[in-house]
Chains A and B, each alone.
Chain A
Amino acid sequence: MPATLTSVDAEGFGRELDRIRDEVIESLGERDARYIRGLIAIQRKLELGGRALLIASWFPPAWITGTAALATAKILENMEIGHNVLHGQWDWMRDPKIHSTTWEWDTASPADQWKHSHNFVHHTWTNVLGKDRDVGYSVLRISPEQRWHPIYLAQPFYNALLALFFEYGIAIYDLELERIPSGRKDPKEALAQLRAVATKIRRQVVKDYVAFPLLAGPAFLPVLLGNLTANLARNVWAHTIIFCGHLPEGAEVFTEDRLEGETRGEWYVRQLLGSCNIDGGGLFHIMSGNLSHQIEHHLFPDLPSNRYAEIAPRIRALCERFGLPYTSGSLARQAASVWKRVLRMALPGPRQRPPATAPPVKTLGAVA
């Protein structure tokens, strides 16, 4: 149990993880390159196929398969491809077409803004209240440590809304508007970023809601609806998977004092305790962008995602050996757990969180 985990153990745990990391990096090669190139080709063909089918969408089966293909392509593009390329997972190939510094993706956030808020802020300060802005995305109350306000009564409603319009939520969130009043963010910078977001949104809207529908001529409306459905499905899916990464029962939230003098080993432990996996098969892992291996992803954000499933059993065994919890559950269970938390935290309290499966760990500064 973590209660017995001394900081020496954390260092031992960290050394083991570093070894796994080095091993994976050493063995990267042809097979991995073929994986990502193959996936990108499949995704693009799926998108082309979906859009082609939608042109014939006066025929209902074509609408259904076309929309499904397009939604799948959009999910792959955002999750297993975009998110992971932007993490620099494929930079080692030195292919300028698949590189974190050149990639742009089909979402409202421009890649460079998202890389700052996600790769740097969220992945460095994972689940630290007041530091990791992803804790509740600055609009949700997800921990009893956050002071309650009547506005939170509406959070189940606006969380559902957030799910539908997730990509726009993320884009606005990346602007860090809440930091402007305190002077921690230059309003001019925010304005410039807002313009970049607007440019991206304009291109997306023209493409999905004007250009392709117009190309379909008489099928204008079904194509528009198909594209809208694909975008909404992608948003809801991404929201669900991402919220299951850090919010289900078992994921811990930390206070800022946890960061003081934090060693590499302790950083690993915090990443582990703050993340939850989702169980599923190979296809599910790909569709989730391997965020179903949230733990492995947070331990090694820049290792290629196709390797997470391979190292997961070793990480799990390592956790067992060091007496650390490794949280994992089915999608249904984790999603229900997230919603339970969102609903519970909409109301004031509780003073103390109900006793977690793992007892509070003072030395780790976890607010269990």
Chain B
Amino acid sequence: MTDLSKIRNFSIVAHIDHGKSTLADRLIQETGTVKDRDMKAQLLDAMDIERERGITIKANTVRIDYKADDGQDYVLNLIDTPGHVDFAYEVSRSMRAVEGSLLVVDSTQGVEAQTLANVYQAIDADHEIVPVLNKIDLPASDCDRVAEQIEDVIGIDATGALQVSAKTGQGIRETLEAIVTQLPPPKGERDAPLKAMLVDSWYDSYLGVIVLVRIIDGVLKKGDRIRMMSNNSVHPVERIGVFRPQMEMIDELGPGEIGFLTASIKQVRDTRVGDTITTEKKGCEAALPGFKPSQPVVFCGLFPVDNAEFEDLRDAISKLSLNDASFSSEMETSAALGFGFRCGFLGLLHLEVIRDRLEREYDIDLITTAPSVIYQIYMRDGTVQELHNPADMPDLTFVDHIEEPRIKATILVPDEYLGDVLKLCQDRRGMQIDLTYAGSRAMVVYDLPLNEVVFDFYDRLKSVTKGYASFDYQMIGYREDHLVKMQVLVNDEPVDALSTMVHRDRAETRGRAMVEKLKDLIPRHMFKIPIQAAIGGKVIARETLSAMRKDVTAKCYGGDVSRKKKLLDKQKAGKKKMRQFGKVDIPQEAFISALKMDG
């Protein structure tokens, strides 16, 4: 057990790509926590998808031993948090478990939207904040300008900001010293009854549910019978350990320490993030304030391309939800797609990550239907229904009005792209709340409907600003608007998986864009295919996919039949990636691609 004064708990906040993971790697390496030969880049980003996309999804921790310049041995606990807006809520939870933050800003770029969003959460959590200007090895680095910007925009003192290159290792030692000298040690009573915060939990196929805890008071020991204060369930503690970053078992955790426990808990759902853990007997009196659980905001249907894979999908989804309490699912049937699941996600990235994992780790080809937000349908009879799926839209004669979720979006963008950003927000039915300048960058705040953002807003924003804009959002509530359900008919048959809710004034534009896209996405058939968008019974856009004209192998290769057979096999495999609607085969990717708007 470590003396409180020798513990420092901290997180790193940064905009994506500003160097959070690289800095964490350097800290781990510099202190010899991981031997050089075991070092691989981005140690804390464990999952393949995270590593590939460079994003962290679950909170990760690492315990670092550090001998400081004062000759004393310190224990530094780093909690690495997700950087993406979809997971903003997870960030805020992790922040409650530590006392300080390194604020990493790329000194060639400056403050970005996620820097702001995350640093405000750190300030909310009463963190001591140490600014770190990263990437000083690059010629474009401009520490003075960025330090000034931190003071102007965020309002914290940046005069003593550390100048670091996480790449070359320059300034890493100074960073470690700053952690020890500038961040406060945790407080806590060793002799008090056990009080621990449940920071996060996930499923491990060998150890079962792993619970990440921060000890506030008391001592957690192997063999203790612990009680979850939210539901009074009791579990015997089997293992206690810390991450280095691989697991290392120890016997106990004292106040101020961060580590994990296992206690034969079967499902992640049996643990509540933010819960207070104490001992079964002689437990603590008052629970910690707790967190509210994160709520899914985006929904879509996931269907196996091959109906026979439904059971595999069910299995895979239940396995994934063991590990991710923020991901919800319920069975859904669709006339055209058969059996599948309607799933809820924290955002579009979360959706993509889960879908990728289902396809990759579980090898299931999926059709993803149009993502939808939750609409509140106010019925004439005074009741209110939540609509998760446009296909379930009740008959309009019973509907009084519809409300949709809105967000407050903060966008930071260089001057020269401001016009494009304003146009994009306006096109997406946005209402400007604020527009201010910080140097040559504008900060735009917009009130936008979530349904205009979930889909491809972020992609569009990146493309109109050549990647220079940054974006963050928070939910602000529901508001009534004139929304209608738009259906798509392929070869005169409605395809419910392509139904979407749209604003009445934008229906025609969207409908036209969708049928045009579908015309390109659906391969030609032996007959011509009308593709229509309709509201109620009224067609608002129409395209015709003309019939295929030529598909034959002209010449004869002696008796080489196998060559022809390969061609047929290829055609067959291609068909497998498609789903039949009436007489028409629609490729799996069409369902999502059809919704993407280019303008």
Q: Does B bind A?
A: no
Interface residues, chain A, CB within 8 Å of chain B?
A: none
